[in-house]
Amino acid sequence: MKLWSGRFQKSTDTLTDDFNSSIYFDRRLYKQDILGSIAHVKMLSKQGIIPEEDSLLIQKTLFEILDDIEQGKIEFDVAAEDIHMNIEQILIGRIGDTGKKLHTGRSRNDQVALDMRMYLKEEILNIRKLIKNLQIVLLELAKENTQTIMPSYTHLQKAQPITFAHHLMAYVEMFKRDKERLSDTFKRVNVLPLGSGALAATTYPLDRDFVAKELGFEEVSLNSLDAVSDRDFCIEFLGNLSILAMHLSRFSEEIIFWCSDEFRFVELDDAFSTGSSIMPQKKNPDIAELVRGKTGRIYGSLMALLTTMKSLPLAYNKDMQEDKEPVFDAIDNVKMCLPVFTDMIRTIKVNKDKMHNGAKGGFTNATDLADYLVKKGVAFRDAHEIVGKVVFSCIKRNIGLEDMTLKEYREVSPLIEEDVFQAISLEECVNKRNITGGPSEEMVKRAIEINRAMV
Ligand code: ARG
């Protein structure tokens, strides 16, 4: 019999039970649900709403149920609809009428909001830790590569020389913001909705601050309608994961083409690559591709929940049961991506020579030649024009700027002297960019230190 069957003359169709039920996926909230109930019932007796002995029996039995679930001893009942009613039903099955007092002053609407908030708080911390592990690996790799010159790109055309460390540190910064966003969201998740009842709170003198303290919530919600009817905290969490996935996807994309024969900047460890069933020579960057691919479903989760919530009138609507699967799926996938991606990076082999050669081609030092002329008194626009012409003639001769002779340079401009070769050497190009945020060895080392102290 359903816990809400009083008003009904007939039992539900099995199709209704199957369709309505969320136990298949919300069972993962069992721990949050039980701990939330324990705090609630503790408070009920403290407030004199139910007798102390009933409260103690309920608490003890809920702990036993928690244990039994963890040991796989419990079979959930689809007809009981969701995790909240399953647990309540099991409780009542074990201790009878006393168990029926648990739901005093509470609704599933504030209960489910509570469970989701508790669950997200835990997962935010888990994901933050996984991002941190990735950052630590990136910082290590960056430290080894502050002198590893590579080309940078705009439009995927070679731009200016930087170092591999500088490139890696760009991602360290992105992941730092991803962590910050999660921490910021955590503050808004950290608000207790319990006590909001179905939507208009309750007449019982609940001590919400007590429950908040018991469960580790920083604040108590101030509007019962809002607390049961919004899922913005889930949406912003999915937004955070989407941005994180976008960063991982961009990084994956780069790793994928760095592994290609055209680049060969890096080689993945055998343990983190795969072969082809037909082409014996292949070594494919499947992990990076799957991480890139999973970005789609994480964005999808965000869009799904945004769309579900759009136009819902206040307060709770059953549509909102659809919040769980996207949130769970995004969490599961991000938690799969981060560790494998981290280990893939940890074991990556860097082809320093290939990177250096890459930086040598494509006139990555052209800006520095223009800057050299500027330092000799030429206006930047004129210098840009002059160097453009030099580049054009070098392309025709199939040589680099460093291959021109001083005599040839002096025909371009009599201001050019022997020191030009120093000025356009790749090492100089990188290390002269020695301001905060720049790729010079000194600045990147400093950025590594700052980030190390923060992760
Ligand atoms: N399983 C429901 C959900 O996830 C719990 C809340 C049900 N509330 C209700 N009034 N039917 O949203």
pLDDT tens per residue, range 111-130:
999 999 999 999 999 999 99
Q: In the structure, what pLDDT confidence band is assigned to residue 271 with cuts at 50, 70 and 90?
A: confident
Mutate to test the pocket of ligand 1, among 16, 110, 230, 318 (most ligand atoms within 8 A of CB): 318
Fold of 13-104: Fumarase C; Chain B, domain 1 (1.10.275)
CATH 1.10.275.10 domain residues, the chain: 13-104
* Residue 377 in this model has a pLDDT that exceeds 90: yes
Residue 201 half-sphere exposure toward CB, CA atoms < 13 A: 12
Q: Which residue has the tokens 């019932």?
A: 41
Residue 82, pLDDT score: 97
Mutate to test the pocket of ligand 1, among 225, 229, 321 (most ligand atoms within 8 A of CB): 321
* Residue 276 in this model has a pLDDT that exceeds 80: no
Express as a percent the part of the chain with pLDDT over 90.
Answer: 92
Distance of alpha carbon 165 from alpha carbon 152, whole angstroms: 12
* Residue 14 in this model has a pLDDT that exceeds 90: no
For the chain, give the mean pLDDT.
96
Residue 300, pLDDT score: 98
Evaluate: CB of 316 within 6 angstroms of ligand 1: yes
Looking at per-residue pLDDT, the higher value among 5 and 42 belongs to 42
Evaluate: CB of 320 within 6 angstroms of ligand 1: yes
**Highest mean pLDDT: which of 316-325, 355-364, 414-423?**
316-325
Distance 317 CA to ligand 1 centre (A): 8
Q: In the structure, what pLDDT confidence band is assigned to residue 272 with cuts at 50, 70 and 90?
A: confident
- Which residue has its alpha carbon closest to ligand 1 atom 2? 321
Q: What is the mean pLDDT of residues 260-277?
A: 89
CATH number for the region 359-454 comes to 1.10.40.30
- Which residue has its alpha carbon closest to ligand 1 atom 11? 318
- Which residue has its alpha carbon closest to ligand 1 atom 1? 82
Evaluate: CB of 217 within 6 angstroms of ligand 1: no
- 140-150: per-residue pLDDT in tens? 999 999 999 99
Residue 265, pLDDT score: 97
Mutate to test the pocket of ligand 1, among 20, 27, 76, 82 (most ligand atoms within 8 A of CB): 82
Determine which helix (DSSP H) or strand (DSSP E) holds 36, and give its type and residue range: helix 30-46
Residue 397, pLDDT score: 94
Residues with catalytic roles? 155, 276
Residue 7, pLDDT score: 85
Residue 97, pLDDT score: 97
- Report yes or no: 305 and 234 within 8 Å, Cβ to Cβ: yes
Residue 71, pLDDT score: 98
Express as a percent the part of the chain with pLDDT over 70.
Answer: 100
- Report yes or no: 386 and 394 within 8 Å, Cβ to Cβ: no
Q: In the structure, what pLDDT confidence band is assigned to residue 361 with cuts at 50, 70 and 90?
A: confident
Evaluate: CB of 318 within 6 angstroms of ligand 1: yes
Amino acid at 113: A
Distance 207 CA to ligand 1 centre (A): 24
The CA-CA-CA angle for residues 400, 403, 404, to 5°, reads 105
Percent helix, percent strand, percent coil in the chain, to nearest 5: 65, 5, 30
Evaluate: CB of 82 within 6 angstroms of ligand 1: yes
Q: How many helices (H) and strands (E) does the chain have?
A: 19, 6
Looking at per-residue pLDDT, the higher value among 281 and 291 belongs to 291
Name the CATH code of domain 121-145+156-204+218-357 (choices 3.30.540.10, 1.20.200.10, 2.40.110.10, 3.30.2320.30): 1.20.200.10
* Residue 405 in this model has a pLDDT that exceeds 80: yes
CA Rg value for the chain: 31
Beta strands in 149-215, from DSSP E residues, in sequence order: 149-154, 157-163, 191-192
Evaluate: CB of 112 within 6 angstroms of ligand 1: yes
Q: Which two three-digit tokens encode residue 320?
A: 């909102």
Evaluate: CB of 106 within 6 angstroms of ligand 1: no
Q: Which two three-digit tokens encode residue 5?
A: 């069957």
User: What is the position in ligand 1's atom list of the atom closest to the CA of 83?
Assistant: 1
Distance 191 CA to ligand 1 centre (A): 19
CATH 1.20.200.10 domain residues, the chain: 121-145+156-204+218-357
* Residue 283 in this model has a pLDDT that exceeds 90: no
CATH 1.10.40.30 domain residues, the chain: 359-454
- 305-339: per-residue pLDDT in tens? 999 999 999 999 999 999 999 999 999 999 999 99
